[in-house]
Structure 1
Amino acid sequence: MMVMQSEAIAAVDEAFGFLAKPDHFTNFTHCGECAEHDELLRNRNRETLTFQDVGNPGWEPMCFSSAEGMAFYMPSLARLAFTDPPYGYDWYGYQLLFHLYSGGLDNKLYTYCNAAQRAAIAVLIGAMIELKTAEIEATGSEDEFLRAYQIWAHGKA
């Protein structure tokens, strides 16, 4: 059964939308880069986070974010995965895959999430697989998306 984009986003909103915004997102005292990423994420909210904030894989604050911070922004990241990227940016879903798949069952977000949140992310990944086939094929990441789905939907690596 095909899941519509709106259903996937609604599932993520329901599972993550109640989370409070963390005071900090990174280990901001570690270095200047961590402090800069923390400041950006602290100065945005779910409605104002943009491609320009997270769309550069070489300078993306989510790579430095805690699981709590990433969970807070999951509704925003889900929307970006279904939004056409602005000029100069690639499809955000591939970057999101990195955050959802890196580390397999030891992924920091996966271990942070409860069962309902894991199920919502499985719905999101399934929707990306069904609706963003061309983008997934363009990145050659079909197997990674399928394995990520298995992790989030079934707890199997």
Structure 2
Amino acid sequence: MTFPNRCSYCGHVFPPLTLSSSTLARLLQVLTEGSPGRASAEVKADTGCSDADAEKWIEHFQSCANSWLLTEEDMRVIALVDNAFGSTPKPMHFTNYKHCDECKEHDDTLTSQTRVSISREHLGSMGWDPITFADAEGIAYYFPALVRFALRPAIGEREWYAVQLLWHLTYDADANKLFRGFDACQRQAVYDFLAHLAASRERELDDHLVKDQIESAFKLWKQA
């Protein structure tokens, strides 16, 4: 009997499928093109699994911050970020949760997850983003996950997360709550991440029209 896997990071249960390298390459392409249905078909054709198992496997692959295949240089930058932010404790609350229903809903989202269990869906969109309502301490706790999502391409219905993260890193310019709230080691890690993002995701930055935002981010965070 074959038992399903449980992700040690996000807790998602998914079937234990092994994909060939050629299928994985096609899978990455169709997902970045926004075609999860085609991706499921690729998984099913390669492994002989059921439609339901293929969909579960794809669902986990798209949602978990730790499931995506990253480059060696990506992992080097992630290690710097983990070292700078990994010891940040999880706060009891992330937002001014008594202020209004929206603040409470975003606080509930962030308090119900951890930096390893949070999914891309939890992070919403530019118009509904729980991180916007969080204070610097709370964002520092989640920052390792935010960087991981920013280094992944846009997949499914959600936009590329780097667009949201760049907004958080530049909003209010010199009064940016993250620049003022992060310590020196954390600010340096943010700068290193931005340098890597600019060097390795130039096409994506251009496609999503955020070249100006990353230049603004460099101008601010180079003061680290």
Whether 1:18 aligns to 2:87 is yes
Structure 1: gaps spanning 5 or more residues:
none
Structure 2: gaps spanning 5 or more residues:
1-71
Whether 1:152 aligns to 2:221 is yes
Query: How is 1:35-74 mapped onto 2 (pairs within 5 angstroms)?
Result: 35-74=104-143
Partner residue of 1:93?
162
Instruction: Specify which of 107, 111, 124 is matched with residue 180 of structure 2.
Output: 111
The alignment covers a number of residue pairs equal to 153
Alpha-carbon offset, residue 28 of structure 1: 0.4
SS of match in other structure, 1:5 = helix
TM-score normalised by length of structure 1: 0.93
Alpha-carbon offset, residue 19 of structure 1: 0.5
Alpha-carbon offset, residue 143 of structure 1: 2.3
Structure 1 outlier segments of 4+, above 2 Å: none
Equivalent residue letter for 1:38: D
Cα displacement string for residues 45-91 of structure 1 (whole angstroms, at most 9, x for unaligned residues): 01111110114221110010111111110000000001233311111
Query: How is 1:23-34 mapped onto 2 (pairs within 5 angstroms)?
Result: 23-34=92-103
Instruction: Tell me if the contact between 2:167 and 2:213 (Cα under 8 Å) persists in the aligned partners.
Output: no
Equivalent residue letter for 2:200: L
Cα displacement string for residues 79-133 of structure 1 (whole angstroms, at most 9, x for unaligned residues): 0001233311111001000000111121001001111110000011111111111
Instruction: Tell me if the contact between 1:55 and 1:90 (Cα under 8 Å) persists in the aligned partners.
Output: no
SS of match in other structure, 1:154 = coil
Equivalent residue letter for 2:184: A
Instruction: Tell me if the contact between 2:136 and 2:181 (Cα under 8 Å) persists in the aligned partners.
Output: yes
